[in-house]
């Protein structure tokens, strides 16, 4: 009897481990609650979502210096932060690449790029690449819109025209934010993130 109980517990533990591994490999989905992070900003200070006590939500953007798609969206990110931070939806940018693989994305270069572009939002280093896999980010840029309770409400692209801001027809992220502000469900809740793959040694 004892052997059966031990085997059952082992099977249960394996089942939980498998479920957790599957969840970690795929990252967050719509309706999942995000775990807070604590990452270093370009000013040397650590930043987490908990620092934004008055926030109504969070615009989490995985981005970088070197990717042409990320560069195309820099001005639009600044505009998004200027428009929505005051309404309680701040932009928090996270650089997920391994700087040893892409030296252009080093911490020093992050500082330079933020100064050049006048970033009005935190630009955080995902040191050790521990945060982006939890979210499930695969591209730069890759956007996650969270509500006040850190529940994921939108995942994907900023809009439908990376190459030409003047040609944008669908502002996916802005529409999702506006929906949340009205107490509505974003539609679409997911779009395909278009950009460069996140760089790792593996």
Domains and CATH numbers, the chain: 28-197 (3.40.30.10)
Instruction: Identify the band that residue 141 occupies on the pLDDT scale cut at 50, 70 and 90.
Output: very high
Residue 140: CB atoms within 10 A of its CB come to 30
Average confidence (pLDDT) over 153-176: 97
pLDDT of 80: 98
For residues 36 and 135, the answer to whether their CB atoms sit within 8 Å is no
Percent with pLDDT over 90 in the chain = 87
Question: What number is the average pLDDT over the span 99-125?
Answer: 97
Look at residue 148 and tell me whether its pLDDT is greater than 90: yes
End-to-end CA separation in angstroms for the chain: 45
- Confidence check: pLDDT of 21 > 70: no
pLDDT band at 106 (very low <50, low <70, confident <90, very high): very high
DSSP string, the chain: -HHHHHHHHHHHHHHHHHHHHHHHHH---TTPBPPP--EEETTS-EE-GGG-TT-SEEEEEE--SS-HHHHHTHHHHHHHHHHHGGGT--EEEEE-S-TTT-GGGSHHHHHHHHHHHT--S-EEE-TTS-SHHHHT--EESEEEEEETT-BEEEEE-S-S-SS-GGG----HHHHHHHHHHTT---SSSB----SEEPP---
- On the question of pLDDT at 70 being above 70, the answer is yes
For 12-21, 102-111, 137-146, 168-177, which range has the lowest pLDDT when averaged over its residues?
A: 12-21
pTM (2 d.p.): 0.87
Q: Residue 12: what pLDDT? A: 35
């Amino acid at each position: 009897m004892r052997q059966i109980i031990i085997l059952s517990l082992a099977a249960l533990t394996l089942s939980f481990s498998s479920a957790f591994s599957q969840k970690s490999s795929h990252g967050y989905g719509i309706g999942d609650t995000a775990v807070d992070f604590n990452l270093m900003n370009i000013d040397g200070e650590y930043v987490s979502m908990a620092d934004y006590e008055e926030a109504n939500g969070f615009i989490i953007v995985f981005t970088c210096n070197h990717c042409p798609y990320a560069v195309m969206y820099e001005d639009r990110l600044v505009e998004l932060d200027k428009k929505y931070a005051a309404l309680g939806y701040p932009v928090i940018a996270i650089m997920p690449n391994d700087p040893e693989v892409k030296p252009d994305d080093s911490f020093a270069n992050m500082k330079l790029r933020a100064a050049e572009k006048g970033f009005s939002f935190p630009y955080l280093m995902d040191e050790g690449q521990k945060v982006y896999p939890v979210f499930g980010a695969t591209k730069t840029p890759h956007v996650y819109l969270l509500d006040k309770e850190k529940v994921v409400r939108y995942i994907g692209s900023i809009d439908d025209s990376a190459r030409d801001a003047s040609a944008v027809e669908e502002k996916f992220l802005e529409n999702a934010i506006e929906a949340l502000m009205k107490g509505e469900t974003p539609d679409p809740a997911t779009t395909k993130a278009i950009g460069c793959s996140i760089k790792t040694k593996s």
